[in-house]
């Protein structure tokens, strides 16, 4: 009922975003084109489509072309302006997702943040003149920068063509904004998603895409739990554990744990996306017994707090994840190669 009441405001919001996009489409608003291959990863929906795992995947794939960087606004940080990630940075200084990428790829990959990416990219190139590629994280609505390849992600559990603009829905702009995409990746798919259902989703996507735009399907591959520090006396596979998350849409993770860790998964402490954990939150944890499992993104925020508190790190684990294409991965990689061939 509330969603229907808010629908007129969704139309108003959608109209505002349409006008903004019109200014960029007609080149009335200025657009910056980076001088090196640039890949943009983003979505139409607010939060939770798996952008960071996809950026991680792309960074692994493009490093063979030369030094690469990733640039995002650094959502949730307490600093402003352009900044390069260093070993001294925290989630407060660069944001949780950039810090996660830096911990996984640095120093092989340059990780930078900056709200105004059209201004940040020249500064990034001045600081790292050897760069051969930039991956823009969460940049689908950042129209001042024109990337060579624009990837639109949509969560299988919350497909954008079944949603509405804010505040009556979770879309950042109207559905036809998908026409800017060079490819669509449906993320967080079940491992055994039938070809018939894939084809049905393609048919439902088609009205919102350019005719030549390919649609890919990818799921999440979960790794083995990794202990925060020290040698674990128990693991989540053999000891009851509590899941602790601060992500936008934890349902796929919860479903996975209920299936693969059915005997030991005890409860789920669910915090908002990009939640800034504080010492008071640690006091709420049951420190008497059991283990705790969290995500990689939450790990980079929790680990410093736990170390400061003197907690037993061997009782805290995080679960690594990777993107896993259900099919046609070679075709996707060929598409990813296109900006580098064009600029060679």
Q: What is the DSSP string of 50-101?
A: -HHHHHHHHHHHHGGGS-EEEEE--TT-S--S-EE--TT--HHHH-HHHHHH
The per-residue pLDDT for range 178-223, each reduced to its tens digit, is 999 999 999 999 999 999 999 999 999 999 999 999 999 999 999 9
Considering only CA atoms, which of 136, 99, 103 is closest in space to residue 120? Answer: 136
The architecture CATH gives domain 2-66+132-221+324-342 = 3-Layer(aba) Sandwich (3.40)
Supply the pLDDT for residue 259: 94
The per-residue pLDDT for range 237-258, each reduced to its tens digit, is 999 999 999 988 898 899 999 9
pLDDT confidence bin for 308, thresholds 50/70/90: confident
Q: Are 165 and 174 in contact (CB under 8 A)?
A: yes
pLDDT confidence bin for 110, thresholds 50/70/90: very high
Bridge partners of 287? none
* Pairing label, strands 316-319, 291-295: parallel
Q: Are 59 and 68 in contact (CB under 8 A)?
A: yes
The per-residue pLDDT for range 61-93, each reduced to its tens digit, is 999 999 999 999 998 899 999 999 999 999 999
- The CATH number of the structural domain formed by 224-319 is 3.40.50
Quote the tokens at residue 320.
């690594």
Give the pTM. 0.93
Supply the pLDDT for residue 344: 58
Place of tokens 């679960």: 319
Residue ranges of the chain assigned to CATH 3.40.50: 2-66+132-221+324-342, 224-319
Phi, psi of 153 (to 5 degrees): -105, 145
Residue 164, pLDDT > 60, answer yes
């Amino acid at each position: 009922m509330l969603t229907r009441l808010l629908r007129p405001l969704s139309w108003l919001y959608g109209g505002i975003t349409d006008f903004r996009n019109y200014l960029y489409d007609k080149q009335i608003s200025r657009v910056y084109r980076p001088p090196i291959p640039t890949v943009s990863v983003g979505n139409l929906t607010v939060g939770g489509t798996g952008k960071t795992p996809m950026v991680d995947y792309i960074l692994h794939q493009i490093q063979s072309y030369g030094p690469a960087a990733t640039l995002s606004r650094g959502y949730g940080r307490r600093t402003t302006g352009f900044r390069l990630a260093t070993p001294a940075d925290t989630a407060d200084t660069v944001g949780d997702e950039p810090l996660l990428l830096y911990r996984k790829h640095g120093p092989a990959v340059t990780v930078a943040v900056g709200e105004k990416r059209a201004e940040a990219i020249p500064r990034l190139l001045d600081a790292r003149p050897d760069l051969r590629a930039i991956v823009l994280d969460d940049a689908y609505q950042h129209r001042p920068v024109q990337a060579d390849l624009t990837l639109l992600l949509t969560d299988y559990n919350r497909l954008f063509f079944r949603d509405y603009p804010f505040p009556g829905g979770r879309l950042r702009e109207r559905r036809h904004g998908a026409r800017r995409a060079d490819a669509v990746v449906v993320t967080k798919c079940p491992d055994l998603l039938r070809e018939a259902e894939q084809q049905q989703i393609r048919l439902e996507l088609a009205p919102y895409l350019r005719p030549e735009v390919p649609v890919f399907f990818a799921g999440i591959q979960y790794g083995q739990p990794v202990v925060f520090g020290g040698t674990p006396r128990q693991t989540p596979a053999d000891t009851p554990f509590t899941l602790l998350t601060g992500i936008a849409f934890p349902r796929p993770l919860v479903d996975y744990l209920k299936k693969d860790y059915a005997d030991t998964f005890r409860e789920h402490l669910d915090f908002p996306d990009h939640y800034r954990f504080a010492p008071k939150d640690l006091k709420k944890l049951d420190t008497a017994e059991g283990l705790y499992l969290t995500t990689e993104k939450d790990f980079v925020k929790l680990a410093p707090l736990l170390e400061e508190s003197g907690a037993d790190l061997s009782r805290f684990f995080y679960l690594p994840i990777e993107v896993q294409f259900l099919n046609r991965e070679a075709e996707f990689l060929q598409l990813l190669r296109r900006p580098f061939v064009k600029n060679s």
